[in-house]
């Protein structure tokens, strides 16, 4: 800290009373004090300028940083706004999808309820059909029992008829009748002659004969015209006999 120069009090009367009046103004001390003051002012000015410069630079840097931060925040804000717009669009689509899904679920529920009602109705019908089927099965078993009883009673008569007529008739496969003859060939009474009649349609067919009959188509046409199967059997037996006779 600069030293303060204090000027002593001047006794003007005493000075004037001297033979050579002289006042010591102490100019050296004044110059030194002035020089020190100017140096202090210069140093203060330099420090002030440096401080102002530092503050200016700090302010500019802070301003630049704030400007960059502002730009960054604005960019982030714009991105957030874009994302917000996208999210709003997604939410709108989800709302639409939700409405569609709810409508689909409601439609499926209505269909499910309708199907449940139909299933309940079908269950009732199935139960009714089961009852009817059970009744039919019982009736069929009863009829089969009756048929078996009749067959067991008729079997001896059938066997006797087959032995007498030398002819056996039996069902094979589906809707087919096998007719077998013996005692057709006088040279071999045990030789078997047979044919199969297909009665699956209104037009009778004969898929096989053993042995082959050349006039079978004519006999078959007569059968389909007359619808008399028994007469057809007799004619075929006669045809087999003629075949044996003329074959010799």
77-118 pLDDT, tens per residue?
898 888 889 889 988 898 889 888 888 899 989 999 998 988
- If you average pLDDT over every residue of the chain, what do you get? 84
Number of domains making up the chain: 2
- Establish if 142 belongs to a structural domain: yes
User: What pTM, to 2 d.p., does this model score?
Assistant: 0.41
- In the chain, at which residue ranges do the beta strands (DSSP E only) sit? 167-172, 176-181, 193-198, 205-210
Domain boundary among 165, 182, 208: 165
Domain boundaries, position 132 = 114-165
Domain boundary among 165, 197, 226: 165
Please name which of 202, 147, 207, 145 lies closest in space to residue 173, comparing C-alpha atoms: 207
183-221 pLDDT, tens per residue?
888 888 888 889 898 888 888 888 888 888 888 899 899
- Establish if 238 belongs to a structural domain: yes
Q: What is the mean pLDDT of residues 66-78?
A: 89
Asked if 125 and 174 sit in the same domain, the reply is no
N-term to C-term CA, the chain: 169
DSSP 202: S
Asked if 238 and 172 sit in the same domain, the reply is yes
Residue pair 33/5 in contact by the 8 Å Cβ criterion: yes
Domain boundary among 150, 165, 180: 165
**At 183, phi and psi to the nearest 5?**
60, 35
Task: Report the pLDDT value the prediction gives residue 17, as an integer from 0 to 100.
Answer: 79
Q: Is 2 left (phi over 0), alpha (psi -120 to 50) or beta?
A: beta
- Establish if 137 belongs to a structural domain: yes
Q: What is the mean pLDDT of residues 62-85?
A: 89
List helix spans (H) across 166-228: 216-226
């Amino acid at each position: 800290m600069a030293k303060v120069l204090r000027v002593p009090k001047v006794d003007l009367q005493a000075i004037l009373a001297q033979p050579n009046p002289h006042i010591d103004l102490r100019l050296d001390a004044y110059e030194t004090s002035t020089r020190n003051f100017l140096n202090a002012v210069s140093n203060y000015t330099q420090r002030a300028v440096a401080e102002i410069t530092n503050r200016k630079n700090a302010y500019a840097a802070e301003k630049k940083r704030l400007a960059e931060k502002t730009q960054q925040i604005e960019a982030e804000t714009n991105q957030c706004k874009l994302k917000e717009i996208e999210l709003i669009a997604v939410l709108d689509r989800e709302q639409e999808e939700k409405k569609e899904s709810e409508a689909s679920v409601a439609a499926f529920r209505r269909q499910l309820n309708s199907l449940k009602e139909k299933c309940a109705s079908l269950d009732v019908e199935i139960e009714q059909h089961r009852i009817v089927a059970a009744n039919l099965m019982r009736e069929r078993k009863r009829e089969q029992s009756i048929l078996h009883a009749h067959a067991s009673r008729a079997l001896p008569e059938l066997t006797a008829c087959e032995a007498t007529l030398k002819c056996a008739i039996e069902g094979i496969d589906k809707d087919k009748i096998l007719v077998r003859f013996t005692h057709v060939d006088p040279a071999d009474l045990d030789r078997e002659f047979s044919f199969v009649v297909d009665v699956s349609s209104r037009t009778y067919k004969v898929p096989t004969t053993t042995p082959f009959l050349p006039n079978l188509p004519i006999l078959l046409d007569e059968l389909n015209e007359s619808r008399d199967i028994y007469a057809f059997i007799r004619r075929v037996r006669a045809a087999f006999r003629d075949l044996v006779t003329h074959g010799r």
